A and B are shown apart, each in its own frame.
Chain A
């Protein structure tokens, strides 16, 4: 009899729930991708040369209708899955055992509660990390299919809800739920509190990432949608090369300035403040580190709580 089996068996309901949800997510996302591929629309039709694909207009409309409906469903499931798997397993490992009294059995035998906890946290943590990474990879494919005209990596689109970040996100929610379960020791209150904490964790990391990105911009000429990268702000360049906000330009030069922007012979030009496309891997790595750090800190705190609390 293998040790993982003995360790995982008490958590079969959680494993089954996550497995069912994971399979459903894969079916919906995979089905969406296959359906979109089945339209057989050449990639060039989605780009600037799209006008030459006028005969495929009907298929393209159907393509975007499908994206509109099933893309939303798939994205929602992909967003929820890491939270569900992290929270369910996080609560199960300590909170549920405290609630059901099995910690009395385990902790009276185990000289080291740390060893007892890590014996569970490590394999389950690795399993849900792998699940999160898999879901993140699927989310990447879905994002590319949803926005075929642009490179989602280059535009930093859906940052944090696709790619390897989802794996780290799962660990963060797992750690938070583990900590809440260790402190509260009751399934339902811990579950509710963990769900409540997931939201500020997600918002906090997103805001922190945005704060970093807002200082990592470059200026480029062009219009929104016409340049690679993530547009942070749209500005205006005056004839003497000064970059102003639109309000500043209006106040200083009046309505005439607005009318001659980017026009033939115009002296004012639109300038975009963007995060360059090369920033994508850095932004992803940063989010991955933030979520992982959050999760690891919560796990370390859980170990400390388990070490001190009564069963």
Chain B
């Protein structure tokens, strides 16, 4: 069964539109990286999956369940880690697990406790006594304790140091590789999630810019230094970290596909699509320096 299926999904807040007519199907298995800049609609999509938000238009199904109509059914199938750990400051780690057990039928406190013990997180410590990374690990342990078929991880790495990020991702990949669970991991930093993700869903301004496997996304593109590329093969011009413009093109675009260029990194693919969403704004107004 597919993890998440959306059809014409839109979410509008008072003055902003977070998602626009989003139609996408995420198949089960592995880790899907949900990538996009701030405001792309990543968190909104995950909140819609867990029933924290209601769609303005369109439909969404999580493991076959519409969270808008059957939120309890959807929540029972997902483990959610929010952007910032929303832990009880007066409860220690063990008490969080006990609380979870009291409100979630079938919660596997022993499994969650074991994860914390492996990481050396003291069970008697309260959130204020834990580092940011340990708080994120506690949130993840609770999500893993749900034994849910789908983990929704909403930018859990945003406030973590590199070591904590690595540890967090290690736990996620261990869990996914070991069991039948799948995960959707959102981030606006592609380098964070690249080592662990199998699929890629790039959102920009509430729309799907790219959805493919990681290998497929890389294989389907080339980076050229010719900034005069055009036609249906052109995705976008994008600047690298030095401001040098590169051109991302699709290799599967028929007669306009270029033959030169090199294999892009995943980050370059994402940058190219994000630049395409921004259109002309992504290209510096000053004459570009063409890479040698």
Chain A residues within CB distance 8 Å of chain B: 1, 3, 6-7, 9-10, 12, 100-112, 115-116, 119, 310-311
- Closest residue of chain A to B95 (Cβ to Cβ) is A6
Instruction: Indicate if B7 sits at the interface (CB-CB under 8 A).
Output: no
Instruction: Indicate if B254 sits at the interface (CB-CB under 8 A).
Output: no
When the two chains form their complex, are residues B90 and A109 in contact, meaning their CB atoms are under 8 A apart? no
- Closest residue of chain B to A9 (Cβ to Cβ) is B90
- Closest residue of chain B to A12 (Cβ to Cβ) is B90
- Encoded as 1 (CB less than 8 Å from any A CB) or 0, chain B from 63 to 84 comes to 0000000001101101110101
When the two chains form their complex, are residues A111 and B52 in contact, meaning their CB atoms are under 8 A apart? no
Query: Shortest Cβ distance from B211 into chain A, in angstroms?
Result: 25
User: Contact partner of A110 among B86, B91, B95, B103, CB < 8 A?
Assistant: B103
Bound: A119/B96 CA distance, A: 15
User: Contact partner of A109 among B73, B94, B146, CB < 8 A?
Assistant: B146
When the two chains form their complex, are residues B104 and A110 in contact, meaning their CB atoms are under 8 A apart? yes
When the two chains form their complex, are residues B52 and A107 in contact, meaning their CB atoms are under 8 A apart? yes
Note all chain B residues with C-beta closer than 8 A to A106. Answer: 99, 103
Bound: A152/B70 CA distance, A: 55
Known: A102-B88, A108-B80. A310 touches B95 (CB 8 A): no
When the two chains form their complex, are residues B90 and A111 in contact, meaning their CB atoms are under 8 A apart? no
Number of contact residues on B: which range applies?
Answer: 35 or more
Query: What are 20 pairs between A and B in contact, CB < 8 Å?
Result: A1-B95, A1-B98, A3-B102, A6-B95, A7-B99, A10-B88, A10-B89, A10-B91, A105-B86, A107-B75, A109-B80, A109-B107, A110-B103, A110-B104, A111-B73, A111-B75, A112-B72, A115-B103, A119-B102, A310-B53
Within 8 A of A (CB), among B169-186: none
Bound: A116/B95 CA distance, A: 16
- Closest residue of chain A to B72 (Cβ to Cβ) is A111
When the two chains form their complex, are residues A104 and B72 in contact, meaning their CB atoms are under 8 A apart? no
Given contacts A100-B89, A101-B84, A108-B50, 7 further A-B contacts (CB under 8 A): A7-B102, A10-B89, A105-B96, A109-B75, A110-B75, A110-B104, A115-B103
Instruction: Indicate if B283 sits at the interface (CB-CB under 8 A).
Output: no
When the two chains form their complex, are residues A6 and B99 in contact, meaning their CB atoms are under 8 A apart? yes
Note all chain A residues with C-beta closer than 8 A to B142. Answer: 105, 109
User: Contact partner of B105 among A6, A10, A100, A111, CB < 8 A?
Assistant: A111
Note all chain B residues with C-beta closer than 8 A to A12. Answer: 90
Query: Shortest Cβ distance from A119 into chain B, in angstroms?
Result: 7
Bound: A101/B89 CA distance, A: 11
When the two chains form their complex, are residues A105 and B88 in contact, meaning their CB atoms are under 8 A apart? yes
When the two chains form their complex, are residues B82 and A105 in contact, meaning their CB atoms are under 8 A apart? yes
- Encoded as 1 (CB less than 8 Å from any A CB) or 0, chain B from 34 to 68 comes to 00000000000001001011000000000000000
Query: Shortest Cβ distance from B269 into chain A, in angstroms?
Result: 31
Bound: A116/B102 CA distance, A: 9
